[in-house]
Amino acid sequence: MSTQNEMTYAQAIKEAMCEEMRRDENVFLMGEDIGVYRGAFGVTQDMYKEFGTERVIDTPISEAAFVGCGIGAAVEGMRPIVEIMFSDFMSVCWDMILNQAPKMHFMFGGKVSVPLVIRTASGCGTGAAAQHSQSLEAMLCHIPGLKVVVPSTPFDAKGLLKSAIRDNNPVVFLEQKLLYRTKGMVPDREYLIPLGKADTKRIGTDCTIVTYGRMTQLSLKAAETLSNEGISCEIIDLRTLLPLDRMAVLESVKKTKHLLIVHEAVKTGGLGGEIAAEVAESDAFYYLDAPIKRLAAEDVPVPFSAVLEKGVLPDEEKIASAVREVVG
Amino acid sequence: MSTQNEMTYAQAIKEAMCEEMRRDENVFLMGEDIGVYRGAFGVTQDMYKEFGTERVIDTPISEAAFVGCGIGAAVEGMRPIVEIMFSDFMSVCWDMILNQAPKMHFMFGGKVSVPLVIRTASGCGTGAAAQHSQSLEAMLCHIPGLKVVVPSTPFDAKGLLKSAIRDNNPVVFLEQKLLYRTKGMVPDREYLIPLGKADTKRIGTDCTIVTYGRMTQLSLKAAETLSNEGISCEIIDLRTLLPLDRMAVLESVKKTKHLLIVHEAVKTGGLGGEIAAEVAESDAFYYLDAPIKRLAAEDVPVPFSAVLEKGVLPDEEKIASAVREVVG
Amino acid sequence: MNTARKNMDETISRKLLKNMLLCRKFEENVQYYFSLGMIHGTCHLGIGEEATAAGTCGALLPDDDMFATHRGHNAAICKGIDINHMMAEIFGKSTGVCKGHGGSMHIADKDVGILGANGIVGPSLALACGAAFAHKRRNEKCVALAFFGDGATNEGIFHESMNLASVWGLPVLFICTNNTYGMSTHISKVMKDTNLIDRAVPYKMKSAEVDGNDALLVYNTVKEARSYAIENSEPVFIVEDTYRISGHSKSDANLYRTKEEISEWKKKDPILNLEKQMLEAGLCSTEEIRQLEAEAADTVKAAVAYAIESPYPKVEDIYEDVYAE
Amino acid sequence: MNTARKNMDETISRKLLKNMLLCRKFEENVQYYFSLGMIHGTCHLGIGEEATAAGTCGALLPDDDMFATHRGHNAAICKGIDINHMMAEIFGKSTGVCKGHGGSMHIADKDVGILGANGIVGPSLALACGAAFAHKRRNEKCVALAFFGDGATNEGIFHESMNLASVWGLPVLFICTNNTYGMSTHISKVMKDTNLIDRAVPYKMKSAEVDGNDALLVYNTVKEARSYAIENSEPVFIVEDTYRISGHSKSDANLYRTKEEISEWKKKDPILNLEKQMLEAGLCSTEEIRQLEAEAADTVKAAVAYAIESPYPKVEDIYEDVYAE
Ligand SMILES: Cc1ncc(C[n+]2csc(CCOP(=O)(O)OP(=O)(O)O)c2C)c(N)n1
Ligand SMILES: Cc1ncc(C[n+]2csc(CCOP(=O)(O)OP(=O)(O)O)c2C)c(N)n1
Ligand SMILES: [Mg+2]
Ligand SMILES: [Mg+2]
């Protein structure tokens, strides 16, 4: 019989890496201050002790070079996990993420593959302001050849990261800063969660909430409140954003006839548009009893002041009222 | 009485720059090979002769530095126009575009402004393959603080670029490679086209086509074909993608009750999602007689071979059949 | 160097000392209120590095532009920011220099030539090129100055900006605050040649290295570099060697260095350093120093009071500053 | 250098000459079919630069990895690509080495260690670091080699990669093909110190500069560098001075240089150069050279025929290679 352990999201991520590094010597980890410093969020604590500084490598502050180095090593058959401290810093190595890693397999006619994972901390709520708080997944989802993953629980984080490491494509794995310290049960036995499959985190009948990452947790709370009011929410946690599990969304919408999309990224140009469009383009359109609604951050750079930061972000209450509006 | 001149899209862009440079000595131009080489697409031909190499400046191949330099000069009161040869190369200076230019005004409490224009050549169809053919506007439209413009005619190009140069915000001006040599009438007298306003390029009753850039021209042709079949298309050319002219879209959709969105960028994560969502979220939703449809490039890196490149892109015929499907 | 000390200028040294004391008190208070949970977010203190800020910014004139890093409190104070409004910013108040939008990592005030601290490691160099470009074009006799750390010199933007400034002859002062660590990572782990000044070689750029814990020396070096940059329309690269006594940020558990190393450097405290020099030169008395310390403490106390009393910004106003008119 | 010539190795020099002739014929044909409109897109020819490709790649072994630039035909040929499939690629055919997905700017063939030409200026350096990292980790006695131009040395990624390779001791050969122009822009307009070899100084990296129109000299230099890199687990930076006789690409109207400059360099043609050396050393006769030329022409002719006869790829298959299994 398999047992479960309670652990944090950060620990689950670390366990996934450790297991894969034990299993496959081609897996290694690179990034800024991931050794003795433990990473800016403590995720890689003590890993260098088990695997040595040859496999848990502190890099110079040169994201473009070390992500590029990861790509080159991947092409040569290794399986690098590269950590970019904050997802906002993808900006300084964007060429590697946009033009190099995801295009090589295709451009080179399928002969080269790039089994690379880029782990990076995403999201706001920490008071780190406009250059350290963004949720940039929508930009990543516009890059064919890439896969994009955002876990919402320790269980998902571990299973998805293990799959990402074994995947033969570049995967950007967006960790949710504010979830790092949250806890959940994780089985003892090894398990994998396939990329590309959404997870229904709550079954309901009146309104579908499509979301991912930290907003899944807030949506679950809002759903509790709403259930006391007699509104039954179904929550689809996308988990993998690219490729998107279209069917999971469409089926739920056909059932509940109402759709709210929630994300932490700014609304304009966010992934909410993609999801809304998938529904509005499909036969699920005919089932909709009300307009679709997107709840997302205000279209402003993330402000520093706590009142402002909270003010521009979706929260439990805003989710609940958005659902009321949709079903109302 | 004002007269008109026939000129190419490239010439119109050049005229806009020349007029603004004559008007305001703070305006200057920087980029790779824009002097004697005339720019990769010939847009800046002979400008260095009139304005000198002090105002039409060939840069080292260091996009991050010279875009950053443009930002710094803008902050100090100049009005730089910075050319990035291909929009794909925004990747190597993405930090400037994502984290620096658009956030300074906000982060610094409104005291600093960044009157910068980034001109860059966008789009495919030239056989330049995956790293020289992308349409990346959707990523830009996810950045609050930025404005994003894509002209579809010489007339629009000139009027929009002049407004962009006078705007006190960073504006990314995406020029359409395959339109550079197309011709149109441009008035002699000075004119400006306000940013943020869409233009109805064709009035119709049966289906709204929301599009921009080169796809506007293809949509106009498709609309001709369709009008022979008795289908009347209304074509909304967005012109400015950020901020988006929501109202223009919604009003047209309410009238025609059908919506096709066309863009050259890959479909997933493209701006089509944003437009579809705006409609599906609004009261225009209730007017729709059929699901919305997006027609966009296939979700693949742009392939080299002409047959493949053509195959993955929307064209006149695909637009016509998409309209038929929507209204059918 | 020794001449610099011998000919110690009373006004200058007093100004530098005052500024360093203000920096120290300011940051100690920030640290304190941060630990109480009254300051949100993270913050990067420069305790121990005050001489680099005071000496460097002290040599600038008001019209000179300064671009700072994530660790930018000291530089802003020494460039002449109003510390009430800066403290209010760090407390996230509407009276903050940035209306509470920026916080500790994004202090800016164009009115005194502070064109912003930056949360991204590196871009300050390129932005300073642009400001210097504008100055040069307008024939203004001033410079743009970029602060950055030793770690930042490994970023591509360092190279691109150094190259651009040198080939275009831009009057930029590139100031590398070399505290030998990028977060936890010692300089020797991330570059083969740790002699940072060698990094100016490929650009044929004038360069200098100074003891960054000697405020007067820093001041004199930067002052000279400033004149050189303006007269020759050329950039200058300066390495200021110092040490960060405080941790990198709130996530720092100081696991990467020894207590001994920290205490060694505490002995070289730049404030004590200058005080000693001034006492020796007979430029002030111990009493006067206590007096200056007390003044700094009072000023900062008032700033904290101002910050605490100030109202929070309103979410309703959030769209006001996304776009300029 | 002179010793290199004196001890000319017949096999080597013949191989280099054959490869250069193949390059030249190949590109002349590409240019011709491009002008006929039978080749789509743009292409960057390296006519005049054959010795850099032949000498450099000639010194590599099959297991060494090579990363090329936008101007990558010659490098691919000299690293041992099948030219039928390369020509087919440039014609956009399904039999192309990249199935018609990449074209002229993205020639790659992992089977012979060609890890791709790149449309972006600069990244080849970083990618090569990664391949070298893998070799080092697996204790393989081979190198990764990155080609890049003089213009590319102004990109940030140049600096980051040079730094990374030097501090981590990665066996990378950084090969700067210095044709003194980045498109139209002469090196003296974009760097103050045009002595490119100085760019290795801050990294304490071993470096060398060679006449890039002397294939044997290039060969010997790279061969030595290769051994050094493997033995010491260190990168080497090599500047190969040469000249691009052809225009930058189809958009080039040659407005930035004089006809005289071009003809001066035509006199230094690397192929004539080697032929002369071989004749002088008595390693071959004029007749044999004509013979080799004819062979190259035939081989390329066959490649063109193969390309033209090959079918176009099918749009229906386009999703096959977006993701790996
Ligand atoms: C592009 C980028 N990469 C990484 C970081 C995270 N980070 C913030 S400060 C810092 C260390 C910087 O070291 P240094 O330049 O020496 O400045 P110091 O902190 O020592 O003052 C790092 C890695 C960042 N902000 N931006
Ligand atoms: C990041 C980036 N910027 C600009 C370009 C456009 N471009 C292609 S080749 C080239 C010149 C490169 O010069 P150099 O590195 O000297 O190589 P060469 O063409 O001389 O072989 C430029 C500017 C590009 N492809 N990528
Ligand atoms: Mg440091
Ligand atoms: Mg060149």
Report residue D233: phi and psi, to 5°.
45, 65
- Domain assignment present for residue D320? The answer is no
Residues A100-143: tens digit of each pLDDT: 999 999 999 999 999 999 999 999 999 999 999 999 999 999 99
In a domain, C293, yes or no: yes
Residue C89 within any structural domain of the chain: yes
pLDDT at position C66: 98
CA–CA gap between residue C222 and residue C200 (Å, rounded): 16
Tally of structural domains, chain D = 1
Q: Cβ A303–B106 below 8 Å, yes or no? A: yes
**What does the pLDDT look like over D121-166, one tens digit per residue?**
999 999 999 999 999 999 999 999 999 999 999 999 999 999 999 9
What is the count of residue pairs from A and B with beta carbons less than 8 Å apart? 168
- Which residue of chain A comes nearest to C317, CA vs CA? A308
Q: What is the pLDDT of residue D250?
A: 83
- Taking CA–CA distances from D94, the nearest residue in chain A reads A109
Q: Which ligand is nearest to the CA of C69?
A: 1
Ligand index nearest the alpha carbon of residue C157: 1
Residue-wise pLDDT tens for chain D (325 aa)? 444 455 678 999 999 999 999 999 999 999 999 999 999 998 999 999 999 999 999 999 999 999 999 999 999 999 999 999 999 999 999 999 999 999 999 999 999 999 999 999 999 999 999 999 999 999 999 999 999 999 999 999 999 999 999 999 999 999 999 999 999 999 999 999 999 999 999 999 999 999 999 999 999 999 999 999 999 999 999 999 999 999 999 888 899 999 999 999 999 999 999 999 999 999 999 999 999 999 999 999 999 999 999 999 999 999 999 999 9
Contact residues, chain A, for C92 at CB < 8 Å: 127, 304-308
* Residue A57 identity (one-letter amino acid): I
Strands B233-237 and A117-122: what pairing?
Answer: unpaired
Q: From atom 19 of ligand 1, which residue's Cα is the shortest distance away?
A: C182
CB neighbours of D164 closer than 8 A, spacing ≥ 6? A59, A60, A62, A65, A66, A69, D126, D129, D170
pLDDT tens-place values along chain C, 325 residues long: 444 455 689 999 999 999 999 999 999 999 999 999 999 998 999 999 999 999 999 999 999 999 999 999 999 999 999 999 999 999 999 999 999 999 999 999 999 999 999 999 999 999 999 999 999 999 999 999 999 999 999 999 999 999 999 999 999 999 999 999 999 999 999 999 999 999 999 999 999 999 999 999 999 999 999 999 999 999 999 999 999 999 999 889 899 999 999 999 999 999 999 999 999 999 999 999 999 999 999 999 999 999 999 999 999 999 999 999 9
Concatenating the DSSP letter of every residue in B93-141 gives GHHIIIIIHHHHHHHTTTS-----EEEEEE---SS--TTS----HHHHT
β-pairing, D236-241 vs D172-178, is parallel
pLDDT for the residue numbered D3: 47
For chain A, which domains are there?
4-187 (3.40.50.970), 199-327 (3.40.50.920)
pLDDT in tens, A153-210: 999 999 999 999 999 999 999 999 999 999 999 999 999 999 999 999 999 999 999 9
Which member of A105, A132, A258, A263 is catalytic?
Answer: A132
pLDDT of residue D7: 66
The Cβ-side half-sphere exposure at B273, using a 13 Å CA radius, reads 29
Residue to mutate (ligand 2; options B32, B34, B37, B61; most atoms within 8 A of CB): B61
How close does chain A come to D43, measured CA to CA in Å? 16
Query: Residue B1: its pLDDT value, please?
Result: 56
Residue B79 touches partner C, C-beta closer than 8 Å: no
Using the mean position of ligand 3's atoms as its centre, give its distance from the Cα of residue C178 in Å: 5
Q: Is A89 in CB contact (< 8 Å) with chain C? A: yes
Q: What is the pLDDT at residue C2?
A: 45
Question: Is A77 in Cβ contact with D123 (below 8 Å)?
Answer: no
* Residue of A321, A266, A128 lying closest to C318 (CA atoms): A266
Question: Would D325 be classed as within a structural domain?
Answer: no
Count the neighbouring beta carbons within 10 Å of the beta carbon of residue A276: 28
Question: Across the interface, do C182 and A311 touch by the CB < 8 Å criterion?
Answer: no
User: Does residue C320 sit within a domain?
Assistant: no
Q: Considering the domain boundaries, does residue C265 fall inside one?
A: yes
Which ligand ends up closest to the CA of D149? 2
Q: Which residues of A178-205 are buried (b: 16+ CB within 10 A; e: fewer)?
A: bbbeeebebeeeeeebebbebbebbebe
On chain A, the residues whose CB falls within 8 A of the CB of D163 are 60, 62, 65
Contact C156 D159 (CB under 8 A): yes
Single out the residue of B277, B297, A99, A77 nearest to residue D319, CA to CA. Answer: B297
CATH assignment of the domain containing D46: 3.40.50.970
User: pLDDT at position C251, please?
Assistant: 82
List residues of chain C with CB under 8 Å from any CB of chain A.
40-42, 89, 92-93, 96, 98, 100-106, 118-122, 151-152, 154-157, 182-185, 189-191, 251-253, 255-256, 312-315, 318-319, 322
Q: How far is the CA of D151 from the centre of ligand 2 (A)?
A: 6
Residue-level pLDDT at C4: 47
Structural domain includes residue D322: no
A61 Cβ inside 6 Å of ligand 1: yes
Instruction: Confirm or reject: Cβ of C151 under 6 Å from ligand 1.
Output: yes
For residue A105, what pLDDT is reported?
98
Strand-pair category, D172-178 with D181-182:
unpaired
Q: Could you tell me whether strands B207-211 and B233-237 are parallel, antiparallel, or unpaired per DSSP bridges?
A: parallel
ipTM field: 0.98
10-residue mean pLDDT profile of chain B (328 residues): values are: 90 98 98 97 97 98 98 98 98 98 98 98 96 98 98 98 98 98 97 98 98 98 98 98 98 98 98 98 96 98 98 98 97
How high is the pLDDT of residue B92? 98
Cα–Cα distance between A250 and D88 in angstroms, integer? 43
Range of the structural domain that residue C53 is part of: 3-311
**pLDDT tens digits along B6-26:** 999 999 999 999 999 999 999
Contacts of A68 (CB under 8 A, 6+ apart): A93, A96, A100, D123, D125, D126, D127, D129, D130, D157, D161
Tell me which amino acid residue C324 is.
A
Q: Catalytic residues of B, which ones?
A: 132
Tell me the pTM.
Answer: 0.98
Please give the DSSP secondary-structure letter assigned to residue A24. -
User: β-strand C236-241 against A4-8: which pairing, if any?
Assistant: unpaired
Task: Give domain status of residue C275, yes or no.
Answer: yes
- β pairing state of B147-149 and B240-242: antiparallel
Please give the distance of CA C282 from its chain centroid, rounded to a whole number.
28
A220 Cβ contact partners less than 8 Å away, ≥ 6 residues apart: A201, A202, A235
A263 carries an active-site annotation: no
D contact chains, 3+ CB pairs < 8 A: A, B, C
> Could you read off the pLDDT of A92-104 as tens digits, one per residue?
999 999 999 999 9
**B33 in D contact zone (CB under 8 Å):** yes
